[in-house]
Structure 1
Amino acid sequence: MTREVRGPADSVLTAFSPRERRDAENLDLFSHNVSTVRHSHGGFNTNRGHLCKFGRQGLGTKADIVEQCLAVHSALRGRVSFPNSTVYQASLESYFSAQENSVQPQCIISPQTTQDVAMAVQILTAKNHMANLPSSSCSFAIRSGGHTYFAGAANEPGGVTIDLSGLHDITLDVSSGLVSVGSGASWGSVFSELSAANLGVNGGRSGGVGVGGLTLGGGISFFGPRYGWTCDTVTNLEVVLGNGTIVNANAAEHAELLWALRGGTNNFGIVTRVQLKTFQQGDLWGGQVVRNITTSDEQILAIANFSDPDAYDEYASLITTWAYDGSADLSVIVNNMEYTKPVADPPAFHTLANMPSLSSTQRITNITSLLSETDRGNPEGRRQGSATVTIDATVGAIAAAVGAWNASVPQIRNVSGIIWALIMDILPPQLYARHAEANALGLEDRHNKTLIILQLTATWDLASDDDTIEVARKAVVEAVHRDVGAVGGLDAFSYINYAAVWQTPFLGYGRASVERLRKVQQEYDPHGVFTDLVPGGFKLPRG
C-alpha cells in the first residue's frame, strides 16, 4: 500500500513497496536527491546529474522518475502526491474522460502559485541544461481543466503530471475592465464571479472546461460573433518557460509569444494566468430544442440560411447536433440557440423556432444556467471520443456531412451506452476573421464565408468497444472528406480542441502560420522541453 508523501526526506521510503525501496537504494537515489535540491535566488542548483534527461527515445526507469518526483517534493512540500493517496486519486477522478482518468503517472504535482510551477519546471528539466549526463529520459504532462478526450493529452503514463487546478483565483479590475484568471480555473467559476458584477467574458460554453486549455486552442464562445475567438480577447498571458523563467506575453513585451499562444497550445511554455477583456452582460435567451430526425432536410436549409455572413446577427449563436442514443435506439436533432440579449424568440432564429419540436428549454436566463445545462448533457467519467472536420456552411456541404454521419450509425448501434453525435458549430467571419491576424489559427484568407466546425463525438461504456468506435469515427471523417470534398465544401482548418489524437490540426493552420510558430518555438523553447519532454496534446510539425 502506498500513501501520500508529506514528511521529511527519510519518510519518503515508506511510500513505496519493499522491492521498490531496495531498487532505489541500490541506485543510490534517496541518499542524494534531497540534498541536491536548493533554493538559491529563486533558482534550482544541482551538484549531481540525477534527474531525467532531455529527449523521448525511451522513458526513464521507474526509479529515475520516482527520484524526480522526490526532488520536486523536497522543494515543494505538500505539493506532490503519489498513487493511492487521496489527493492523487481526486486529481485522476476529476478528468473528463475515463481514458484520461485511467492514466497512472508516478506522481502528480499540484502547484498553488506560479512560482511553484517555475520551481517544478526547473527541477523537471534540469538535465536539459547540463552536458555529458546519463541518457535516461522521462516526460511530464500539463493539466488545466483536464477536458481533452484522449488518454495522455494532459496526464502522463508512468511519468509526472502537473495539475494546475490549484491555480484557480479570479481577480477583477473594475477600472480597466480586465479579469485575471488562474489557468486551472473553470469557465463556470469565472462566469459565476463576473455575473455578480453584471459582466461577461468571451469564454467557454461548458462550465467544467478549464480556462487554460480552451483559450490556448482558440476557444469558441456564445459571445464569439461579437468578440472573436476566446484567445482574441486575451491581453496578457503569464508563462513559465522551459528553463523555469516566468514571462508575461502581451502587446508590449513578448508579443510574438502572445501571438503563438493564441492557438499554439502547449508548445511554448506553461500558461499559469490568463488576462481577458470583460464587457457588460446581463441575462440572455437560450436553451435546447429537441426535434425529430425527420426534420433533417429542413434543418439543413435553416442552418445554411442562418449562416449567411451578410445578414448574420452578431448576438446569435447556434450549435446543431445530430445524435443517436443507443439506449433508446433513437436519433434526434438538438438545436442549442443562444441570443446574448434578453430577447425572447429573436428574428435570427425564426426559421428554426417555427419547426415542430419534441421538447424545449428556451428561456431568458443567465449564462451560468446555460453552462450548467451543457454540463448535464456531458457527464464526466465515461469513455469519450472526438474528431473534427471543417466545412463550408452551404446546403450541399451540410447535407453531405449529415449523410456520412447517418450512414455510420449501424456500425456503432450495438455498442453499450453509445451516444454518437455530429455537432455543428457555426463560425461566421464575424467570429474567426475579426482578429485573424492577431492569432495563429491561419484563417485570415477565408474571404468572408461562414464555416462550420464539425465535431464527431462518441460516449460509451466499455474499453472493449474502443476499437469499434475508433474504426467508425475514422470512417466518418474519411467519408466527410470524400463527400463534402466532392461538392467543393471542404475547408483545410481543423479546430485543435476537437481533434482526435490521430489528426494533424496544425497542418490546417497553413504553412505561413506553422513556420512562424516554429520560429517562436525556437526562440522560447530552444531545448525542446515542450516538444520532447511534454508529449501530450498536439506538436508542431517538424521542419
Structure 2
Amino acid sequence: MSLLTFVAAVTLLVGSALGDTCSEVASISSIDVQSPSSVSYLREQADYWSSTCAALKPTCIMFPKSAEEVSTIINVLKSNTEKFAIKSGGHNPNNYFSSVEGGPLISTQKMDQVLLDPATGIAKVGPGIRLDEIAAQLQGTGWTFVGGRIGNTGVGGLILGGGLSYMSAQYGWAASSVLEYEIVLANGTIATASATHNPDLFRALKGGGNMFGVVTTYTLQTYRQGNIYGGNLVFTRTPETDAKLLKAVRDFTDYNQDNKAAIIVTAERSTVSLIDSWILFIFYDGPEVPAGTFKNFTDVGPTLNTCKVQTYSDLIGGSNWVIVKASVVDISTTTIPVPSLENAGIMDEIHAHWRNLSGSTQLELGIVASVAYQPFPRAIARAARERSPDLIDADEDMDKIIMEINYSFVPQASYSAMADTIEATYNGVDRIVAEWQDQGKLPRTHLPAFMNYGFYRQDYFGRLKPEMAKFAADVAAVVDPTGFFRDRTGGFRPKVGRS
C-alpha cells in the first residue's frame, strides 16, 4: 500500500468515526438544519448570555419541533463520535454547557408550546420557550408558573438545575412543580418520567442537569395568581449602607414568616458606568403588602423605588435590563448559613472579601461585578419536600443564603484570568464560612451549591449529599450506560468512583 493510499484510508476511517450529523439528518428527515452561512444560524448562535459561548461555532444548528425529531437526531449522533450541545435559552455562560465548537447544536427554539388546561392549571411547556414568554401567554388566565426572576432565561436549563423563584417559599423549586417529563434517552427512545413512571429518573431530573437525556416537554402544575407587588429599590453605596443592608437581608431571612414575600439583595460596581450601588429586587405575591414586610430595606433610604402593583408578566418582562450585552459572563455560587445576631459580622467579612476581589478587576474593559444575597429559608426546603423528592434534597434544619457572584467583561482573552478571580472569590467565601464554623460561631449544616449559578470549575455534585450524588450516577448508568451524554456534551457531572 502506498503512503497516499494509507493516508486516504485513515482519513476515510476517521471521517466515518467522526461522522457528519448535519448532512445525515438533513438527508433522512425534514428537520430544519441550518448551515453557518444562514441567517437563522447566525441569529441563534449570537443569542447567548456570554460572548464566549457565541464565539464557539457549531457545524450546523438543528431546530427539531418534537420529541420524534430529537430522537432522529440522537440516533444519528449515536453512529458517530461528534461532540454536540443542546440549547434552551443560552442563559448558562459556561462554555460547552449549551454551546459547541466543531459539532452540531440542537436548538429547542421551535419547541416553545404552552398548553394550559384552564380548569386544573396543568400546563405542557416546551424547553425552547423563555420565562417572559410563558408569563405573557399565561397573562389573563389567572394561573402563574414557578419560574426564575429574569424573563430572558430559557425554561429548559432553569428547571433541570432546580430553579429558584420568587415563589419558592410557597411552592419549592421550579422543578418541584414538574408533574411529568417527556425525555429522549441516549438510546433514542422517548420516555416518560413521573412519580409513577421511571420515578428514579423523575427525581434525578430535579436538579440533575442535562446528563440524563433531552427533555422535550415539561408538564407543570401552575398556581392561582392575580396582580402582584414588585420592582426595584436602588441605594447609593456607602460603608454605612453596606452594613445596614447586609443586616437587613440577614434579619429578613431569619425573621420573615410570610412566604409570599421575596427579595434579592444585590451589590454592583463598575468603573465603566461609574456604578457602586445596591439594587434590590422586591416581590410580594399579591397586590396588598402587609405593613412592615420590607421595612428593614425601605428604612435604609433608597434613592429610587420602582415598586408598584402590576402583573407578574409585566414584572418578569421588565427584568431583562440586567443582561449585559456583548460581554463575557462568569457566574458562580455558594451557600452560607444565616448567622445569629451576635455573629452577624460574618456578613460584613464576606462582603469585604467580595469588595477586595471585585476591586482588583476594575481596570478590566467593560467590567461589571456583582454579588447577590438571596434568602434560602427553610420554607423553600419544606415546600420542595411536600411536592416531590429532588436531587438537591435540601434540609429544613436552618435558614441559609444563596450567593450569586458575577463578573462580566468585554475581552474574551481575559476568560482564563477572570476565571481565576471568580474562583478565588467563591473559595474565599467558603474559607470564611469554614473558619467561623471552626470557631463555633456558625453551625455545620449541608450547604449545597445551586446548579443554575454554578461555575464550570465548581463541583456541583460534590456539594450534594453523598447519597444523592451516588443516586444521580446510578440513574445515569441505567438510562445512559455508554456515557453518551456524559462524554459527548458539556455540563456538571458526578466524579466517577466518588465514595
Q: Using structure 2 for the length normalisation, give the TM-score.
A: 0.91
1:137-286 correspondence runs (5 A): 137-286=81-230
One-letter amino acid of the structure 1 residue matched with residue 109 of structure 2 = S
Deviations for 1:47-91, whole angstroms, at most 9, x for unmatched residues?
xxx8xxxxxxxxx65x86562221111123351112121121111
Give me the whole-angstrom Cα distance separating, in 1, the residues matched to 2:65 and 2:291: 45
> Contact 1:263/1:439 (CA < 8 Å) preserved in 2?
no
Deviation at 1:208, TM superposition (A): 0.9
> Contact 2:151/2:317 (CA < 8 Å) preserved in 1?
yes
One-letter amino acid of the structure 2 residue matched with residue 530 of structure 1 = F
Which secondary structure does the structure 1 equivalent of 2:383 belong to?
coil
Between 1:179-188 and 1:481-490, the stretch displaced more is: 481-490
> Contact 2:203/2:391 (CA < 8 Å) preserved in 1?
no
One-letter amino acid of the structure 2 residue matched with residue 503 of structure 1 = Q
One-letter amino acid of the structure 2 residue matched with residue 343 of structure 1 = E
**1:303 counterpart residue number:** 249
Deviations for 1:372-395, whole angstroms, at most 9, x for unmatched residues?
332112144321111111101222
Give me the whole-angstrom Cα distance separating, in 2, the residues matched to 1:175 and 1:330: 48
Give me the whole-angstrom Cα distance separating, in 1, the residues matched to 2:20 and 2:392: 42
One-letter amino acid of the structure 2 residue matched with residue 360 of structure 1 = N
Give me the whole-angstrom Cα distance separating, in 2, the residues matched to 1:191 and 1:26: 55
Identity of aligned residues (%): 26
Deviations for 1:344-396, whole angstroms, at most 9, x for unmatched residues?
57422111112111212111111122223321121443211111111012223
**2:357 counterpart residue number:** 408
1:338-353 correspondence runs (5 A): 338-344=283-289, 346-353=291-298
Give me the whole-angstrom Cα distance separating, in 2, the residues matched to 1:533 and 1:77: 24
> Contact 2:204/2:391 (CA < 8 Å) preserved in 1?
no
1:503-514 correspondence runs (5 A): 503-514=458-469
**2:483 counterpart residue number:** 528
Give me the whole-angstrom Cα distance separating, in 2, the residues matched to 1:532 and 1:453: 30
1:323-402 correspondence runs (5 A): 323-344=268-289, 346-394=291-339, 395-402=344-351
Give me the whole-angstrom Cα distance separating, in 1, the residues matched to 2:142 and 2:77: 42
Give me the whole-angstrom Cα distance separating, in 2, the residues matched to 1:71 and 1:228: 43
**1:539 counterpart residue number:** 493
Which structure 2 segments of 5+ residues have no match? 1-7
Which secondary structure does the structure 1 equivalent of 2:360 belong to?
helix
Give me the whole-angstrom Cα distance separating, in 1, the residues matched to 2:225 and 2:28: 44
> Contact 2:381/2:395 (CA < 8 Å) preserved in 1?
no
**1:22 counterpart residue number:** none
Deviations for 1:112-148, whole angstroms, at most 9, x for unmatched residues?
1111001111111136xxxxxxxxx322111111110
State the superposition RMSD in angstroms. 2.1
Give me the whole-angstrom Cα distance separating, in 1, the residues matched to 2:217 and 2:453: 23
Q: Using structure 1 for the length normalisation, give the TM-score.
A: 0.84
> Contact 1:339/1:346 (CA < 8 Å) preserved in 2?
no
Which secondary structure does the structure 2 equivalent of 1:433 belong to?
helix
> Contact 1:391/1:484 (CA < 8 Å) preserved in 2?
yes
Which secondary structure does the structure 2 equivalent of 1:69 belong to?
helix
One-letter amino acid of the structure 2 residue matched with residue 405 of structure 1 = W
Residue 369 of structure 2: which of 409, 420, 428 is its match?
420
**1:292 counterpart residue number:** 236
Deviation at 1:451, TM superposition (A): 1.2
**2:471 counterpart residue number:** 516
**1:441 counterpart residue number:** 391
Give me the whole-angstrom Cα distance separating, in 1, the residues matched to 2:102 and 2:435: 45
> Contact 1:65/1:159 (CA < 8 Å) preserved in 2?
no
Which structure 1 segments of 5+ residues have no match? 1-24, 30-49, 51-59, 128-136
Give me the whole-angstrom Cα distance separating, in 2, the residues matched to 1:345 and 1:97: 39
Which secondary structure does the structure 2 equivalent of 1:205 belong to?
coil
Task: Number of aligned residue pairs: give it.
Answer: 478
Deviation at 1:459, TM superposition (A): 1.4
Deviation at 1:446, TM superposition (A): 4.6
Give me the whole-angstrom Cα distance separating, in 2, the residues matched to 1:95 and 1:65: 26
> Contact 1:195/1:282 (CA < 8 Å) preserved in 2?
no
Deviation at 1:401, TM superposition (A): 1.9
Deviations for 1:224-275, whole angstroms, at most 9, x for unmatched residues?
1110000001000000001110011111211111100000111111001101
Which secondary structure does the structure 2 equivalent of 1:307 belong to?
helix
Give me the whole-angstrom Cα distance separating, in 1, the residues matched to 2:389 and 2:131: 21
Give me the whole-angstrom Cα distance separating, in 1, the residues matched to 2:152 and 2:400: 26
